[in-house]
Chains A and B, each alone.
Chain A
Amino acid sequence: EPEVTQTPSHQVTQMGQEVILRCVPISNHLYFYWYRQILGQKVEFLVSFYNNEISEKSEIFDDQFSVERPDGSNFTLKIRSTKLEDSAMYFCASRSQGSSGNTIYFGEGSWLTVV
């Protein structure tokens, strides 16, 4: 079964450093998402992306965050200057169509620890 893959699975970074989390969505999917989950808390929406632009972003997705689809397969989340509170599991997701009712498929996540 096709799946969303994410790298790295775990990254430790110094506060203030830039981090790039990578995702390979399912190949025929057109809509892409990033979510985060702070340990023990709920899954929070960050951003959705379609047709090479951001469709929607949450309040969490401030100027420190950016997303990019640099080629036909990768979808990246960049955190420009990490803060301690950015420590979380970051999930990438994708779905084939934007119409309501299509399943969103999630990757296994990238665990980011900021020290």
Chain B
Amino acid sequence: SQQGEEDPQALSIQEGENATMNCSYKTSINNLQWYRQNSGRGLVHLILIRSNEREKHSGRLRVTLDTSKKSSSLLITASRAADTASYFCATENQAGTALIFGKGTTLSVSS
């Protein structure tokens, strides 16, 4: 299976703190993507990092990718209550015909 697997499964922090979520995958990838899902809602694309990139930033998001360890991390800095959501990493299957999602990390940010 190519699936990304996130850890921790759940994370609770205070507003202003940083949140770090990790993702591991099994096979070689072309890119890895992070998505966010608010409860009962659709998936929103956050950021994509290509296999030849090591780090990428977007606003308060920082993603790293270590292809030698087959892992990625998503860091949300200065978290807000509105960041409360589930976060999923996703990798493409080898044929490039589907994104395969991990189980997700549920982040809870309390004010």
Chain A positions near chain B (C-beta within 8 angstroms)? 4, 33, 35, 41-45, 48, 50, 55-56, 58, 89, 91, 93, 98-101, 103-109, 111
Contact of B95 among A33, A56, A105 (CB under 8 A): A56
CB distance B30 to A101 under 8 Å? yes
CB distance from A98 to the nearest CB of B (A): 6
CB of A100 within 8 A of CB of B30, answer yes
CB-contact partner of B96 in A4, A93, A100, A107, under 8 A: A100
Quick one: which of A35, A105, A109 contacts B45, CB cutoff 8 A?
A: A105
CA A105 to CA B43, docked complex, whole Å: 8
Which one of A4, A56, A89, A101 lies within 8 Å of B50 (CB-CB)?
Answer: A101
Q: Which residues of B contact A (CB under 8 A)?
A: 30-31, 33, 35, 37, 40-45, 48, 50, 88, 92-93, 95-104
State whether B97 touches A55 (Cβ < 8 A): yes
Q: CA separation between A108 and B37, bound complex, in Å? A: 10
A-side contacts of B95, CB under 8 Å: 55-56
Most chain-B CB neighbours within 10 Å: which of A4, A33, A50, A103? Answer: A103
When distances are taken between beta carbons in the complex, the residues of chain A under 8 Å from B42 are: 4, 91, 106-109
